[in-house]
C-alpha cells in the first residue's frame, strides 16, 4: 500500500503553497490603501443591492471573516473591519458576495448550506467509526468491515461538502472583483492586489477539496486491502 504522506503529497504540497500565497498576498494588500474600510465597503455593497437588513459586525480572531445566512449577518475580523486597504475591501467584498448569493437563491450556495449539517455530522462520526472498525476487525471481522464502510460514508459527506463549496467560493470572488471595479473602491494597483488575495484564497479551497478526495480514495484502499 502506498504510504499516507506519499499518496496525499500533491494535496499537502498544494495546501502549503496556498497558505504561503494567502499570507504573502494578505500582507502585501495591507500596504495598498483603499477608498473605504472593509466595514464601509461591505455596507456600501449590501446597500447597493438593497440588502439593508443584512448587518455588518466585527468578529473576534484573525481571518474569522464570514457571512452567516441564518442570522443574516456579515462578520469581519478586526483588521478587515477597520482598515482601509486592498486586503480589507477584497475580503469584505468576497463575504458580501456570499450575501448576494443568498439573496438571489444562488443554487450552489443553497446546496452547500443544506450540506453543512451532514458534513459536520460526518466529520464528528468519522474518527469514532474508523477507529472502532479497525479494533472490531480483529474481534468480529464482519462488524469491523461494516463500521469501516460507515466511516468511509461519513467522510464522503465531508468530501462532498468540500467539492460543493468550490463553485460557491469562486463565484463570491468573481462578484467581489466586479463590484470593487464597478464601484471604484480600489484603483488599478489595488485591483491587482485584490486579485492576488482572492486567487490565493481560491487555491486554498481547491487544495482542501483535492485533499478530501485523495484521503477518501486512501480510506477505500485501506478497507479493500
Over 80: is that where the pLDDT of 225 sits?
A: no
What element of type H or E holds 53?
Answer: none
Cell of 135: 479494533
Bridge pairing between strands 55-59 and 73-77: parallel
- Eight-state DSSP code of residue 127: H
Cell of 106: 444562488
Residue 1: per-residue pLDDT: 54
CB distance 182 to 136 below 8 Å = no
- Eight-state DSSP code of residue 85: B
Residue 92: per-residue pLDDT: 96
What is the CB neighbour count within 10 angstroms for residue 139?
A: 8
The CA radius of gyration of the chain, in Å to the nearest whole number, is 20
Average pLDDT, the chain: 91
CB-based burial, 36-72: b 16+ in 10 Å, e otherwise: bbbbbbbbbbbeeeebeebebeebeeeeebebbbeee
Task: State the pLDDT confidence band at 2, using cuts at 50, 70 and 90.
Answer: low
Residue 95 known to be catalytic? yes
The mean per-residue pLDDT over the stretch 41-56 comes to 95
Task: State the pLDDT confidence band at 68, using cuts at 50, 70 and 90.
Answer: very high
Helix axes 86-104, 141-182, angle to 10 degrees: 110
The mean per-residue pLDDT over the stretch 12-32 comes to 89
Over 80: is that where the pLDDT of 127 sits?
A: yes
The mean per-residue pLDDT over the stretch 90-110 comes to 95
The mean per-residue pLDDT over the stretch 51-63 comes to 91
Task: State the pLDDT confidence band at 34, using cuts at 50, 70 and 90.
Answer: very high
The mean per-residue pLDDT over the stretch 26-30 comes to 89
Over 90: is that where the pLDDT of 104 sits?
A: yes
Nearest to 43 by CA among 70, 76, 68: 76
Catalytic hit among 95, 169, 188, 189? 95
- Any idea which of 80-84, 98-102, 136-140, 149-153 has the lowest mean pLDDT? 136-140
Residue 101: per-residue pLDDT: 96
Cell of 52: 439593508
Over 60: is that where the pLDDT of 182 sits?
A: yes
Task: State the pLDDT confidence band at 117, using cuts at 50, 70 and 90.
Answer: confident
The mean per-residue pLDDT over the stretch 10-28 comes to 89
**CA atoms of 16 and 11, how far apart (whole Å):** 9
Amino acid at each position: 500500500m502506498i504510504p499516507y504522506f506519499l499518496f496525499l503529497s500533491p494535496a499537502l504540497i498544494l495546501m502549503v503553497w496556498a497558505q504561503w500565497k494567502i499570507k504573502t498576498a494578505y500582507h502585501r494588500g495591507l500596504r495598498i490603501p483603499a477608498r473605504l474600510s472593509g466595514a464601509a465597503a461591505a455596507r456600501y455593497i449590501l446597500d447597493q443591492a438593497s440588502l439593508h437588513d443584512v448587518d455588518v459586525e466585527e468578529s473576534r480572531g484573525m481571518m474569522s471573516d464570514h457571512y452567516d445566512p441564518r442570522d443574516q449577518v456579515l462578520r469581519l475580523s478586526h483588521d478587515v473591519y477597520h482598515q482601509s486597504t486592498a486586503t480589507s475591501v477584497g475580503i469584505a467584498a468576497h463575504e458580501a458576495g456570499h450575501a448576494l448569493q443568498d439573496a438571489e437563491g444562488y443554487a450552489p450556495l443553497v446546496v452547500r448550506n443544506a450540506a453543512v449539517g451532514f458534513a459536520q455530522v460526518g466529520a464528528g462520526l468519522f474518527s469514532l467509526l474508523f477507529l472502532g472498525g479497525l479494533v472490531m476487525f480483529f474481534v468480529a471481522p464482519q462488524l469491523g468491515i461494516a463500521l469501516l464502510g460507515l466511516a468511509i460514508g461519513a467522510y464522503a459527506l465531508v468530501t462532498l461538502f468540500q467539492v460543493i463549496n468550490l463553485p460557491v467560493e469562486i463565484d463570491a470572488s468573481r462578484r467581489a472583483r466586479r463590484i470593487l471595479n464597478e464601484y471604484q473602491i480600489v484603483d488599478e494597483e489595488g485591483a491587482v492586489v485584490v486579485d492576488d488575495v482572492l486567487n490565493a484564497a481560491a487555491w486554498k479551497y481547491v487544495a482542501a477539496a483535492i485533499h478530501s478526495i485523495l484521503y477518501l480514495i486512501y480510506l477505500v484502499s485501506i478497507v479493500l486491502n
